[in-house]
Structure 1
Amino acid sequence: MSAHHPPHHGPHAGIAAGDARKAHLGGDPKSLSWCGVGVGDHHFLPRKLVAGGGPTAAKLALVSFLAVILVFAVDLSLTGAGVHRRLRRQYLHYIGGGGGGCGGGDGVGGEEAKNNELPWLSVPDPSNFTEELLDRWLTPGGIPCRDSRTANISIPVLDDAAAAGEVTTLGSAEIHEFTFWALDDAGQRRCLGGDFFEIDLAGEVWKSRPPVVDHGDGSYSFRLQVAPRFAEGDFRLTIILLFRSFEGLKFSSLRFKYRAEIRLIPLLFGPSNSTRFLPALETCRAADFARDVWSGRWTRLAKNDNCEEVDDAGRYRCLEPQHPCEAPWCAGPLGALESNGWVYSAHCSFKLFTADAAWRCLDGKWLFFWGDSNHVDTIRNLLTFVLGVTDTSAVTRRFDAVFTNPSGGPGTVRITSIFNGHWNMSMNYLGLHSLRNKGFQRLVRSYFLAEDRAPDIVILNSGLHDGCYWTSVRAYVQAAEYAAQFWAGVMAQVRARGHAVPRIFYRTTIATGGYARDLAFNPSKMETFNGVLVEKLRRHGVLTGGLIDNFDMTFPWHYDNRCNDGVHYGRAPAKLLWRDGKVGHQYFVDLMLGHVLLNAICNG
């Protein structure tokens, strides 16, 4: 999650920025364990206790006493001055509350108890997202460290290594956590959060967004993990301060942009210091779409070094179309993604569909899309690149059409798409406010209530237009509540008519790229709006299918315009000059989304 989000899943705020042993969780045998208490790790016990043979009752009692003292100290750190009152509850949620074992929940820790396996890096679903956001956003100033402005950061572990001219080496497979502090112009620590940091971990065959936690007291933490398969070579950890003090959430965010690259840190990932191993990813099933936040990575499984220019159609057909995926990172034809080897995976991996497999899945189905113009690109790319449909002239902002398998084999699919940027499909910048138009409400309802069936699959999206319309977070919260009630009401009417309720997914809004990172639909605001609407839809029981985190998928590629024009990742290929001055552009990020959608649709 981004730095401006409520501290719903962060580790305890008591980690000192100057404590190298506590900031690095993983490779260092002196570091804290993920539970916070190093049970079973001899380096946490007094030397005399581990020098002899088996434990005595006195030894066990002393160990238990020390563990209680450590837990009590953590508890105090979460209730002390300068720390948000709810941080303690959120920390307990992060490690699994009162459950057994280390974590015991959906996050890190609860997944590492079996077969000597290490956990995959993940982000627990937020709790009370909107309430926490508003509470922290409205926190008053009045204290010097609160009224100051972030100008730099301090990451003691990594900064110390850089100052000594050393490159930090971390163990692959393990999760490494670092805490840093926001500093003002005078180099003093701030005591309030709200800054939005863009963090990128990149190597030749790896690209990901490390999850960031804002602890609300001027400290932040992020976690790194690289799978051994991709650990060779140099890595770069880039930290950019894009907005300060929640200013990315303001109505006119452009004049508040900071956009300063404050760290570019070289890293190496060596062999793991642990005897445990990462379990192989499994192909996504229906239950895997229940998570509200993903933490994935892009990995490069192949590369054609001679493929530097687009062909006459503007396409990067670098690998043979049937070039196979490498298990467990994906399944199916990697070459069909036209990414020159890049593929996305998260807590599970995805199947890349052939045309035959996609038509078998979609045959007879009715898909309903409601969102911004990125839906139009995704639908067109799905039809063109996966289903082989050459005539996509029907795919506009608002359409309802049936498409037939062009190969002559079995397969028809009905697709309906309703643009929600405005109730008038030729206009823009209303977003969820379009639902206040009664005619637009009737139009949307008609597809669910006017026929003898409802759509089979619904894919919702609150798009970029909301960033341009809503003047405050509180106004958007009210709009999201209204939208969730509207969709809950539509589904109630579907049930009342005795029809099957569709599986409904929310596809998170993209991370706008390049120049658009500063504008009213900037990544800070869009991630916040995503979190608000997902929570509202969940609470009203709308998301019967789950979530597809397109924000996480696009974020590693949003720093420039190579894969986007600022607000779209799926523009049709063309051998024309692109926004960044080069001929052609990369379109595989949106094409990957099309395959992820098929995984969600076909695994129900």
Structure 2
Amino acid sequence: MVVIGSIDGGTIRSMVESRRSTKQYGVLENLASRRNGSDGSVKWVSTELEPNLTENLLSRWLAPEGEPCRESRTVEIVIPGLDGKDLIELTAGDSHEFGFQALDESKNLVCSGGDYFETDLSGEAWKSRPLVRDFGNGSYSILLQVHPDFAGDYNLTLILLYRHFQGLKFSPWRFAFDKQLRKFRIKFVKGGAQLPKIETCEKSDFNRDLWLGRWTRQAKNDGCQISNDGRYRCLAPDFPCQSPWCGGSLGLLESNGWVYSSHCSFRLFSADSAWHCLKNRWIFFWGDSNHVDTIRNMLNFVLDLPQIPSVPRRFDMNFSNPKDASQSVRITSIFNGHWNETMNYEGFNSLMDEGFRNLLKKYFSEDTVPDTIIMNSGLHDGVHWHSLRAYSEGAGYAASFWKEVMDSVKQRGLAVPQIFYRTTIATGGYARSLAFNPNKMEVFNWVALDKFRRAGLVSGVIDNFDMTFPWHFDNRCSDGVHYGRAPAKMKWRDGEIGHQYFVDLMLAHVLLNALCSR
């Protein structure tokens, strides 16, 4: 994640001084090792959407270049606090912020922002995406933090995928830089820092727009092999989660021990607990085909309905508990990649079709309406919209449409559905350079959230972009644009037999946490 930040006067002065000599770049080695309490306690790193996000993004994207240092493009960076060290030792628990500076091909300073860095911090039992701050003048910083329970050896990787907002272009594959600039060995050692305990997610936890989570590994079966049905049953189904990283049976995730947590941790649902939550509910999905996979995975893996091999892009069905017919849930799913369900690449623009708008309105004009909406858009928007400005207008229209629909429900005296916005995935492997690349999808997520927040529509957020990002560097967990394709013992896109599907199955459990939390 690249977020826009401000930089203090001392750092700005050091940048100015550095321009007098290309041998001294004036970047602070370690901007901060943060401890927030006198007792040695620290806080988890967090971030949030900035005020007036859409307007500020458009302003930066459209800013004139002018001076040469604003016209130059980044080919290298310098990180004084990390460069030249064979092994870097940091204390676990503390947050460590390191400044770095963009350089052009002549080793001169770049003085404009908008570069998109992919970051990865990986250890034997930890995978996360360190936060990058963009100060808008060619200087950046990266924040590192690991829980003391996972002290040990790590690799920190920085990849420059796009320069100066080029991932937002209509044809971004022409501009992909995709170069690994650094790979550091870091040893996190236990110190006196104590992070606040992560608690199980409650309803209020889904108010956070941007998540900074991590995948942790609680166990591992080195001898695990793919089954004939394409599944990885590496741990016993009742293998327990370790507190505080998740609750329930970790074996149900079929991840060989991996589980996702963020500012709160998630409960992994048994079939009984999931049906108890969903009985007599009506859940409405509107979004891309990743919804289709997630719904099928929820039915197959969580709700104990393995006989359903697939669901279509557009359907409205009731599903019953095979063990208790009195428990049923109505699920409606409307694909928004195009107003014609057999076509693609419209996204929010699908709402320009009157028939499609009327189809959506119909479900909210009955005597009863859905109690919850899971909403998403992005992949198809990445192909359709020619510019960030055009997308922001499309997202604004979508927000106004859904506000009109929700207002009509309210005017009829019915309970207005909760709306959870599920952010678009980080596309993986080969798809990292395409029209729906991670740079564009992250910005589109921000703009959509900004527009829907302003319209008063968002009850909560599920940040699937953050969940998928640590696994997006190759195609082991995705076909590039889907993380939930059904298990199959057959050759996958990366040439191996079978693929990992647990990332989307984790999403199914996170959705249940949102639906069932109080």
Q: Residue 247 of structure 2 aligns with which residue?
A: 331
**Do 2:246 and 2:261's aligned partners in 1 also have CA atoms closer than 8 Å?**
yes
Per-residue deviation at 1:328? 0.3
Q: Does 1:343 align with 2:267?
A: no
Per-residue deviation at 1:390? 2.1
**Do 1:208 and 1:556's aligned partners in 2 also have CA atoms closer than 8 Å?**
yes
Q: Does 1:249 align with 2:173?
A: no
Per-residue deviation at 1:11? 5.2
Q: Residue 298 of structure 1 aligns with which residue?
A: 215
Per-residue deviation at 1:463? 2.7
Q: Residue 22 of structure 2 aligns with which residue?
A: none
| TM-score, normalisation: structure 2 | 0.95
From 479, 495, 505, the equivalent of 1:565 is 479
The 1:115/1:443 distance shift into structure 2, 3 A limit, reads farther
1:50-87: CA deviation from partner (whole Å, max 9, x where unpaired): xxxxxxxxxxxxxxxxxxxxxxxxxxxxxxxxxxxxxx
From 264, 272, 279, the equivalent of 1:356 is 272
Q: Following the alignment from structure 2 to structure 1, what is the Cα–Cα distance between the partners of residues 312 and 301?
A: 17
Residue type matched to 1:515 in 2? Y
From 41, 44, 57, the equivalent of 1:117 is 41
Q: Residue 60 of structure 1 aligns with which residue?
A: none
Residue type matched to 2:103 in 1? L
Q: Following the alignment from structure 1 to structure 2, what is the Cα–Cα distance between the partners of residues 113 and 131?
A: 36
Q: CA RMSD in A?
A: 1.5
1:277-313: CA deviation from partner (whole Å, max 9, x where unpaired): 1121000000000011000000001001111x31001
Query: What is the aligned length?
Result: 507
From 510, 523, 532, the equivalent of 2:425 is 510
Q: Following the alignment from structure 2 to structure 1, what is the Cα–Cα distance between the partners of residues 207 and 6?
A: 21
Q: Following the alignment from structure 2 to structure 1, what is the Cα–Cα distance between the partners of residues 10 and 370?
A: 50
The 1:211/1:402 distance shift into structure 2, 3 A limit, reads same
1:434-481: CA deviation from partner (whole Å, max 9, x where unpaired): 0010000000010011x1111011011013000000000000010010
Q: Residue 71 of structure 1 aligns with which residue?
A: none
**Do 1:125 and 1:291's aligned partners in 2 also have CA atoms closer than 8 Å?**
no
Q: Residue 61 of structure 2 aligns with which residue?
A: 137
Q: Following the alignment from structure 1 to structure 2, what is the Cα–Cα distance between the partners of residues 405 and 524?
A: 41
The 1:393/1:288 distance shift into structure 2, 3 A limit, reads same
From 485, 489, 497, the equivalent of 2:412 is 497
The 1:302/1:10 distance shift into structure 2, 3 A limit, reads farther
Q: Following the alignment from structure 1 to structure 2, what is the Cα–Cα distance between the partners of residues 539 and 171?
A: 40
Q: Does 1:206 align with 2:126?
A: yes
Q: Could you say what secondary structure the match of 2:119 adopts?
A: strand
Per-residue deviation at 1:391? 2.9
Q: Following the alignment from structure 1 to structure 2, what is the Cα–Cα distance between the partners of residues 180 and 341?
A: 35
**Do 1:13 and 1:215's aligned partners in 2 also have CA atoms closer than 8 Å?**
no
Unaligned runs of 5+ in 1: 27-32, 35-111
The 1:526/1:14 distance shift into structure 2, 3 A limit, reads farther
Q: Following the alignment from structure 1 to structure 2, what is the Cα–Cα distance between the partners of residues 330 and 529?
A: 30
Q: Residue 447 of structure 2 aligns with which residue?
A: 532
Q: Following the alignment from structure 1 to structure 2, what is the Cα–Cα distance between the partners of residues 219 and 315?
A: 45
Q: Following the alignment from structure 1 to structure 2, what is the Cα–Cα distance between the partners of residues 22 and 258?
A: 26
1:67-118: CA deviation from partner (whole Å, max 9, x where unpaired): xxxxxxxxxxxxxxxxxxxxxxxxxxxxxxxxxxxxxxxxxxxxx5597531
Residue type matched to 2:497 in 1? V
Q: Residue 467 of structure 2 aligns with which residue?
A: 553
From 88, 110, 126, the equivalent of 1:168 is 88
1:551-597: CA deviation from partner (whole Å, max 9, x where unpaired): 00000000000000000000000000000010000000000000000
Q: Could you say what secondary structure the match of 1:156 adopts?
A: coil
Q: Following the alignment from structure 1 to structure 2, what is the Cα–Cα distance between the partners of residues 304 and 482?
A: 49
The 1:13/1:535 distance shift into structure 2, 3 A limit, reads farther
Q: Does 1:417 align with 2:333?
A: yes
From 228, 234, 246, the equivalent of 1:318 is 234
Residue type matched to 2:122 in 1? A
The 1:316/1:10 distance shift into structure 2, 3 A limit, reads farther
Q: Could you say what secondary structure the match of 2:236 adopts?
A: coil
**Do 1:211 and 1:222's aligned partners in 2 also have CA atoms closer than 8 Å?**
yes
Q: Following the alignment from structure 1 to structure 2, what is the Cα–Cα distance between the partners of residues 114 and 287?
A: 28
1:123-180: CA deviation from partner (whole Å, max 9, x where unpaired): 133221111100100111121111111110000110142xxxx311000000000111
* Structure 1 residue ranges, 4+ long, deviating more than 4 angstroms after superposition: 16-22, 112-116
**Do 2:235 and 2:254's aligned partners in 1 also have CA atoms closer than 8 Å?**
yes
Q: Following the alignment from structure 2 to structure 1, what is the Cα–Cα distance between the partners of residues 182 and 78?
A: 10
From 19, 32, 39, the equivalent of 1:25 is 32
Q: Residue 267 of structure 1 aligns with which residue?
A: 186
Q: Residue 19 of structure 2 aligns with which residue?
A: none
Residue type matched to 2:61 in 1? W
Matching of residues 429-448 of structure 1 within 5 Å? 429-448=345-364
Q: Residue 90 of structure 1 aligns with which residue?
A: none
**Do 1:359 and 1:410's aligned partners in 2 also have CA atoms closer than 8 Å?**
no
Q: Does 1:578 align with 2:492?
A: yes
Q: Which has more radius of gyration?
A: 1
Q: Following the alignment from structure 1 to structure 2, what is the Cα–Cα distance between the partners of residues 126 and 541?
A: 17
Q: Following the alignment from structure 1 to structure 2, what is the Cα–Cα distance between the partners of residues 433 and 14?
A: 46
Q: Following the alignment from structure 2 to structure 1, what is the Cα–Cα distance between the partners of residues 376 and 48?
A: 22
The 1:156/1:603 distance shift into structure 2, 3 A limit, reads same
Q: Could you say what secondary structure the match of 2:395 adopts?
A: helix
From 282, 290, 315, the equivalent of 1:374 is 290
Q: Residue 111 of structure 2 aligns with which residue?
A: 191
| TM-score, normalisation: structure 1 | 0.82
From 205, 227, 230, the equivalent of 2:150 is 230
Q: What is the percentage of aligned positions where both structures have the same residue?
A: 58
Q: Following the alignment from structure 1 to structure 2, what is the Cα–Cα distance between the partners of residues 432 and 132?
A: 22
Q: Following the alignment from structure 2 to structure 1, what is the Cα–Cα distance between the partners of residues 317 and 26?
A: 61
Per-residue deviation at 1:222? 1.3
